[in-house]
Amino acid sequence: MSDAGHTPAKRHMPDGFSDRLRERFGDQFESGDAVLEQHGSSESHYQNMLPDAVIYAERTEDVITLVNMCSDANVPIIPFGAGTSIEGNAAAVSGGISLNMTRMDAIVAVNAEDFDCVVQPGVRREELNQHLRDSGLFFPIDPGANATIGGMASTRASGTNAVRYGTMRDAVLSLRIVTPEGKVIRTARRARKSAAGYDLTRLYVGSEGTLGIIVEITLRLHPIPEAISSAVCSFKSLDGAVDTVVQAIQSGVPLARVEILDALQMRAVNRWSKLDYPEAPTLFFEFHGSEGSVAEQVEIVRMVAEGNGGGEFAWSNLPEERSKLWRARHDAYYAAVNLREGAIGWATDVCVPISRLAECIAETHEDLEASTIPATILGHVGDGNFHVVFSIDPAIPDELEEVARINERLIARALAMDGTCTGEHGIGLGKQGSLVAELGEAVEQMRMIKRAFDPRNILNPGKIFAL
């Protein structure tokens, strides 16, 4: 199950191709070192792999033109959003053009009566929620970073609200796509459900830019609940915290958010976000509903927590307090990486059936305790999904290898429990061997789709699998 893998060959752009791009795209074309660097690096441990140039798309026609030019010239295109993915999903492994979508950032329509909206791919999740504030609706999917909606659709992102509101798989109603042939298609209408043919929407969601380029997204929204209550609760043991979540879920409590942070992660959060929570295994909760329903949920969860060694609930009921709490949670990755100065981060994520979660986290915790590299456990435990974030000293060459070994053990453990090698980060470069370990021959069906849609392998080549 080694993910060391395979580095595809760099493709060379034909002579004069760069000039033709510059001519067509004017100041939407960039090839300066700093811009290339920005588009070829990642927030994670991957080596920089730079594109040959960057194009800033401003309209669908730009995308069509670029696809046609690159297809003729056999030059890769790597769609690029906020650059916050963490499995090397947007690295330019074969060179080519990084297609920056962030200027396509219009909110095209908000259909409040239908609980949906239409956005361009460069819109960021926080700006969308800002825009929606007066509509009484919100968009729940929230990976830690302020990612673009296009990037979130591409990696099938989720976040803290997924336990109640689902992931990007559930949030995307329809996509407008530029295909590798330069055609524009729409994958579905705006109806809430459909049985009309193959589910192309779900096929493109999570395909990491390898099958088509997203130029518009229709998203499901949700009404802002009448009552929202957030709380933090510390536990004597990690087990007690995990058991609380499992029992609450199994009691049918419709938790809106439930996040675990181990003791070291809490220390990191306190330092990074200037807070003073107890540095013990902790759950962050959020309850949504009517006043009555929230009160009921809270009552059940408090009892469950008490039975598992949980302390007092520290409540955050004012919007500002809640924002501060969840901002701290969203920054947890950066907090963990910065446990050591100048460190580089490596975040991995697995997801297992909830009945195996306690065991999976306990064994992983033991593994981390045995290592000298600071590493935290945190995550969306209501889904059975958790992360390990390592803070790696780049001056110690063995550390990357040690993390790779711990990560491999973690993935093997999750697969043995009938879990997945990634709950929300995607395969990118880093988990290609794990994908095969997880799904075996089914990966060949994925390759068939890729070859059929993109026979010249123009779109984000070298990601998810080797062809």
Q: Minimal distance in Å, beta carbon 199 to its own copies? A: 5
Q: How far is the CB of 24 from its own copies (least distance, A)?
A: 24
Per-residue DSSP letter, 157: -
Residues 445-454: contacts with CB within 8 Å, 24+ apart? 449/203, 449/211, 450/210, 450/211, 453/179, 453/180, 453/211, 453/212, 454/180, 454/210, 454/211
Q: How far is the CB of 59 from its own copies (least distance, A)?
A: 19
SS3 for 93? Answer: strand
User: Between 77 and 436, whose beta carbon lies closer to its own copies?
Assistant: 436
**Minimum distance of its own copies from residue 30's CB (angstroms):** 30
Dihedral pair phi/psi, residue 39, rounded to 5°: -90, -10
Cβ-based nearer residue to its own copies, 366 or 441: 441
Secondary structure (3-state) at 347? strand
User: Tokens in use for 94?
Assistant: 């074969």
Q: Which is nearer to its own copies, 334 or 453 (CB)?
A: 453
Minimum distance from CB of 446 to its own copies (Å)?
Answer: 5
- 254 versus 307: smaller Cβ distance to its own copies: 254
Q: What is the DSSP letter of 436?
A: H
Count H helices and E strands in the chain, helices first.
17, 18
> With respect to its own copies, which residue has the nearer C-beta, 13 or 64?
64
CB of 185 to its own copies, least distance (A): 4
Phi (first) and psi of residue 175, to 5 degrees: -130, 145
| Residue 328 Cβ vs its own copies, minimum distance, rounded to whole Å | 24
CB 239 → its own copies: shortest distance, Å?
A: 16
Smallest gap from Cβ 127 to its own copies, in A, equals 23
Cα four-point dihedral sign 85, 353, 264, 397: negative
Residue 262 or 383 having the CB closest to its own copies: 383
Closest CA to 82 of 148, 19, 171: 148
Say if residues 285 and 294 touch (Cβ distance below 8 Å).
Answer: no
CA distance readout (Å), 6 to 44, 175, 425, 464: 19, 32, 20, 12
**SS3 for 160?**
coil
Closest approach, Cβ 36 to its own copies, in A, equals: 27
Strand partners for 284: 232, 259
Return the number of the residue (229 or 434) whose C-beta is nearest its own copies: 434
Contact 75, 416 (CB under 8 A): no
Q: In what order do the strands lie in the sheet with 184-186?
A: 107-111, 116-119, 213-220, 172-178, 184-186
Neighbours of 91 (CB within 10 A): 27
| Minimum CB distance to its own copies smaller for 20 or for 447 | 447
d(CA 60, CA 178): 8
Instruction: Pick between residue 183 and residue 409 the one whose CB is nearest to its own copies.
Output: 183
3-state secondary structure of 117: strand
Q: Which is nearer to its own copies, 211 or 406 (CB)?
A: 211
